[in-house]
């Protein structure tokens, strides 16, 4: 399919900067030209998308998610963490069928795409029949999918991870697979090292599509205590230094949260080129705390953004998460100049593509994948316009997204998703919820 | 006009609780009946609003705003406060004509209504020709409007406040007027007392529609220093105790921000029945800090919510502000049970009506004004549904509002505002911006 996106501003997040009254040419899944409106006439037969009054941005990249948890949104909130997990989340999850997982994942994928997110990095229990990978494939999205590993099911995990990798890695150019130890307090040190070695092995075999190493790190203050309790191991100064000592922190590592990190830990994260995923909404809602992101950025740590699941965020909307990211640190650091709008959009686009090691992603420029979100700015909350970055971060909402292209395909057209029958999906979601609740109460 | 709103959930915020598959009957601007869907048949000739799959809530009440600043959204961000004010905001404002103020105010009013806000408490420079009051009137909204008073223009202020009161107080049952000293560091002690006496005088004359006393209080840490510098007066322990000593804190006082308040200050606010307006998004963006709201609620202080202007919030959206309110304190207090969803919706509805002393507002029950927002929940981010309060606070967006009634009139119908030609408004907004920028640069 060939498109010309004509008019409006193009926020390229590349050396091109912002092009006003511009034009983007898309062919065979790639951006082949970016310029002023005039270039449109060079591509006469291409399908035209009228972007007058709109702003095009690179599709947003959500670097930490559990998309399969779509059915749990609003099931339990405002509770202490242990009660939330033990009385609500885990019992519900134990009753989910493979199909329920698929429906929940598809629900989240559709929500994500509708709010301008084109790539997701997600971790959940993999099931060969229905999985997050299939939901991402069917929704038209791009994603990195991992099977979450725990010490208590080591053998099954390794089989499932292998199955996931063989079935899905590189599929359709839209799906990649990662190795996903849950966390250092649920994966014992030798298993952690084994999983990391598996990651390195797979990368040795395959230089085209890197396999990342996705884990939760330093989300809560008590992780050293939990490691000690689970495995009888002392983490020493911190879980970050413990993981470094295990030799599992490197450029493949995508570490979600990093709330409890010291200055020394930040040095380690920078030195080891770990990619940190900031999840401010989840961290606030679960009262985990506030990650010292400005300090990390100052020290050269690569920082990206994630929503986390809709169970701890309640909305898979990167616009909302970007606004929280831009604001929370201004309040905490008592400095209105930290986390300016551009830096936040960078974290959700080009930095995120680098974090997932996915080339040709995260910017609008020739040779890059045609993953583009187009926001309609002809609205009372977005006019007049002075600065595109400011409006994108501080004023726009996910619901302002009017068109989305992923891999060159038009997956959102005039605000409606083209890949999934939403009416059918909502009916399936309600049926799935009812059957899970029946199983819990029977 | 007579309406029956049929189907969906009704979150009444009254002793009625939540009515599922309900019906609301509206007549002559008032709610006359609330019950199950069956009651609809008793009102055969009434216009039907189909609310199947929707959730009706009391129209939201935004207790601190400067709606006239609509043209300044995104004009300057990510700057230190003094640079932001002195180099950007004030020079821009000095070039605004009365008509620009009207256009900016109308823009914000339309944005507010579209996202379910039906009443606003707003403070700005009043001009008899074009004002915030006229914009509120024309938009169909309900509002409390004040002229912001400063010591340096005492005489003009008193004339303008008098003019505002005589022209607008009680108009159409939708507009009320408040007395608005800007803050204790810009209004000297004797003028502050004079303004408070004026407030009391007007209330003595008029028991039907109270005149509130709207001011900024303890927004930043340096206010005692600013008072001393401006007027040579020592505030003593805090600006709250200073204001109490002046005798200007009472049930009429609507105090925006209250970020820097001690335990003693909280006691004063509770004892004097001051209404505190929490503006978390503005306080974060300007890096003012985070108000100790859970402590205030525990001590019985009446807490409400405001967006503040779109210059320091960038979106006049109470849903976003409610979500920040629910989350920020969980993170700061390290307790996921503080500020549960219901308490936040209460702050934005019934508590807000009490704060503005506006009877029969803030709940859906017979005898109350028909100010209602109806959200469409048939969307991937709002289904399945377990708990209405959770979805309203954590998952819904302002853009999910499908119908809004204010004073019994349908001002938003299927997501479109019926009172203002939005195309015309956006054109006027762009023209107004261009002419202000021309005046600044000439």
User: What is the CATH classification number for the domain harbouring A53?
Assistant: 2.30.40.10
Select from B302, B331, B355 the last residue of a domain.
Answer: B355
Determine the Cα–Cα distance for residues B275 and B255; give it in Å rounded to an integer: 6
Evaluate whether A92 touches A440 at the Cβ level (below 8 Å). Answer: yes
pLDDT band at residue A208 using 50, 70 and 90 as cut-offs: confident
Sequence-distant (6+) residues with CB within 8 A of A61 are A117, A118, A119, A120, A121, A304, A348, A349, A352, A353, A356, A361, A362
Residues A194 and A301 in one domain: yes
pLDDT of residue B183: 98
Task: Assess if residue B439 is contained within a domain.
Answer: no
Residues A337 and A282 in one domain: yes
Residue B111 has its nearest CB partner, among A381, A385, A399, at A381
Smallest Cα distance from A375 to chain B, Å: 14
Q: What is the mean pLDDT of chain A?
A: 97
How many inter-chain contacts (A to B, CB under 8 Å) are there?
A: 191
Determine the Cα–Cα distance for residues A267 and A315; give it in Å rounded to an integer: 33
Residues A92 and A192 in one domain: yes
Domain encompassing residue A391: 2-58+362-417
Mutate to test the interface with B, among A380, A386, A397 (most CBs of B within 10 A): A380
Contact B395 A429 (CB under 8 A): no
Q: What is the mean pLDDT of chain B?
A: 97
Mutate to test the interface with B, among A286, A327, A346 (most CBs of B within 10 A): A327
Contact A429 B399 (CB under 8 A): no
Tell me the DSSP string of B378-410.
-STTT-S-S-HHHIIIII--GGGEEEEEETTEE
Task: Please return the burial class of A379, using the count of CB atoms within 10 Å of its CB with bins 0-12, 13-18 and 19+.
Answer: buried
Task: Assess if residue A427 is contained within a domain.
Answer: no
Domain CATH number, residue B122: 3.20.20.140
Residues A385 and A276 in one domain: no
Determine the average pLDDT of the residues in A124-149.
Answer: 95
Tell me the DSSP string of A377-393.
--STTT-S-S-HHHIII
Contact B426 A110 (CB under 8 A): no
Strands of the A117-124 sheet, one edge to the other: A60-65, A117-124, A142-149, A175-181, A213-217, A253-257, A275-278, A302-305
Share of chain B above pLDDT 90, in %: 95
pLDDT of residue B130: 85
Helix (H, G, I), strand (E, B) or coil at A146: strand
Contact A337 B387 (CB under 8 A): no
Residues A341 and A371 in one domain: no
Residues B99 and B238 in one domain: yes
Share of chain A above pLDDT 70, in %: 100
Count structural domains, chain B.
Answer: 2
Task: Assess if residue A273 is contained within a domain.
Answer: yes
Residue B395 has its nearest CB partner, among A315, A383, A395, at A315
Residues of chain B found within 8 Å of residue A380, distances taken between Cβ atoms: 107-108, 110-111, 114, 422, 425-426, 429
pLDDT of residue A306: 98
Contact B399 A397 (CB under 8 A): yes
Residues of chain B found within 8 Å of residue A286, distances taken between Cβ atoms: 330, 336
Evaluate whether B112 touches B61 at the Cβ level (below 8 Å). Answer: no
Residue A188 per-residue DSSP state? -
Select from B355, B375, B397 the last residue of a domain.
Answer: B355
Strands of the A9-11 sheet, one edge to the other: A18-19, A9-11, A54-58, A372-376, A401-406, A409-413, A416-417
pLDDT band at residue A305 using 50, 70 and 90 as cut-offs: very high
pLDDT in tens, A81-115: 888 889 999 999 999 999 999 999 999 999 999 99
pLDDT band at residue A206 using 50, 70 and 90 as cut-offs: confident
Determine the Cα–Cα distance for residues A73 and A89; give it in Å rounded to an integer: 10
Task: Assess if residue B264 is contained within a domain.
Answer: yes
Residues A38 and A103 in one domain: no
Residues B141 and B117 in one domain: yes
pLDDT of residue B206: 76
Tell me the DSSP string of A51-101.
-TTEEEEEPEEEEEE-GGGGGGTTSS-S--HHHIIIIIIHHHHHT--HHHH
Residues of chain B found within 8 Å of residue A386, distances taken between Cβ atoms: 74-75, 433
pLDDT in tens, A5-17: 999 999 999 999 9
Which has the minimum average pLDDT: A354-358, B80-84, B319-323? B80-84
Residue A195 to residues A245, A248, A249, A356, B364, Cα–Cα distance (Å): 15, 9, 12, 18, 56
Residues of chain A found within 8 Å of residue B75, distances taken between Cβ atoms: 386
> B71, B122, B116: which is closest to B277 by C-alpha?
B122
Task: Give bridge partners of residue B332 from the DSSP assignment.
Answer: none
Determine the average pLDDT of the residues in B395-401.
Answer: 98
Share of chain A above pLDDT 90, in %: 95
Helix (H, G, I), strand (E, B) or coil at A424: helix
Residues A88 and A200 in one domain: yes
Chain B residue at shortest CA distance from A434: B384
pLDDT in tens, A241-300: 999 999 999 999 999 999 999 999 999 999 999 999 999 999 999 999 999 999 999 999
pLDDT band at residue B120 using 50, 70 and 90 as cut-offs: very high
Residues A34 and A125 in one domain: no
Interface predicted TM-score (ipTM): 0.97
Determine the average pLDDT of the residues in B288-309.
Answer: 97
Chain B residue at shortest CA distance from A399: B399
Task: Assess if residue A378 is contained within a domain.
Answer: yes
Determine the Cα–Cα distance for residues A266 and B293; give it in Å rounded to an integer: 32
Evaluate whether B147 touches B132 at the Cβ level (below 8 Å). Answer: no
Residues A337 and A387 in one domain: no
Task: Assess if residue B152 is contained within a domain.
Answer: yes
pLDDT in tens, B189-243: 999 999 999 999 999 987 789 999 999 999 999 999 999 999 999 999 899 999 9
Residues of chain B found within 8 Å of residue A426, distances taken between Cβ atoms: 378-380, 383
pLDDT of residue B399: 98
Residue A4 to residues A7, A33, A372, Cα–Cα distance (Å): 10, 9, 12
- Residues B411/B417/B419/B421 CA torsion (nearest 10 deg): 180
**pLDDT at residue A46 above 90?**
yes
Task: Assess if residue B428 is contained within a domain.
Answer: no
Task: Assess if residue B437 is contained within a domain.
Answer: no
Chain B residue at shortest CA distance from A333: B287
Residues B340 and B412 in one domain: no
Helix (H, G, I), strand (E, B) or coil at B312: coil
């Amino acid at each position: 399919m060939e498109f010309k996106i004509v008019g409006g501003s193009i926020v390229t997040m590349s050396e091109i900067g912002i092009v006003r009254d511009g034009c983007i040419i898309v062919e065979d899944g790639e951006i082949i030209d970016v310029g002023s409106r005039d270039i449109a006439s060079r591509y006469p037969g291409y399908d035209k998308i009228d972007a007058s009054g709109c702003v095009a941005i690179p599709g947003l990249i959500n670097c930490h998610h559990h998309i399969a948890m779509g059915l749990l949104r609003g099931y339990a909130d405002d509770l202490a963490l242990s009660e939330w997990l033990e009385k609500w989340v885990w019992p519900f999850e134990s009753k989910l069928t493979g199909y329920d997982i698929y429906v929940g994942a598809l629900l989240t994928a559709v929500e994500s795409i509708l709010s301008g997110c084109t790539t997701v990095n997600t971790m959940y229990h993999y099931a060969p029949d229905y999985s997050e990978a299939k939901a991402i494939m069917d929704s038209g999205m791009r994603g990195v999918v991992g099977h979450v590993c725990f010490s208590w099911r080591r053998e099954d995990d390794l089989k499932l991870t292998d199955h996931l990798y063989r079935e899905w890695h590189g599929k359709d150019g839209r799906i990649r697979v990662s190795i996903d130890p849950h966390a250092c307090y649920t994966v014992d040190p030798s298993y952690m090292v084994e999983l990391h070695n598996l990651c390195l092995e797979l990368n040795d075999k395959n230089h085209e599509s890197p396999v990342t190493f996705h884990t939760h790190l330093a989300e809560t203050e008590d992780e050293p205590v939990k490691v000690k309790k689970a495995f009888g191991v002392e983490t020493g100064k911190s879980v970050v230094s413990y993981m470094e000592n295990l030799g599992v922190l490197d450029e493949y590592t995508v570490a979600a949260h990093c709330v409890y990190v010291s200055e020394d830990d930040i040095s380690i994260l920078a030195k080891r080129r770990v990619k940190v995923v900031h999840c401010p909404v989840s961290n606030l809602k679960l009262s985990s705390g506030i990650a010292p992101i400005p300090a990390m950025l100052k020290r050269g740590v690569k920082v990206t953004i994630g929503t986390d699941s809709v169970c701890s965020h309640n909305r898979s909307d990167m616009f909302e998460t970007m606004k929280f990211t831009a604001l929370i640190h201004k309040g905490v650091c008592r400095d209105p100049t930290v986390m300016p709008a551009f830096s936040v959009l960078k974290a959700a686009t080009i930095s995120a593509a680098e974090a997932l090691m996915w080339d040709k992603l995260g910017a609008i420029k020739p040779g890059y994948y045609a993953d583009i979100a187009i926001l309609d700015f002809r609205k009372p909350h977005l006019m007049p316009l002075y600065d595109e970055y400011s409006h994108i971060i501080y004023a726009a909402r996910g619901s302002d997204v009017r068109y989305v292209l992923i891999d060159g395909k038009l997956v959102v057209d005039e605000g409606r998703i083209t890949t999934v029958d939403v009416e059918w999906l909502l009916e399936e979601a309600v049926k799935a919820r009812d059957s899970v609740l029946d199983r819990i109460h029977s």
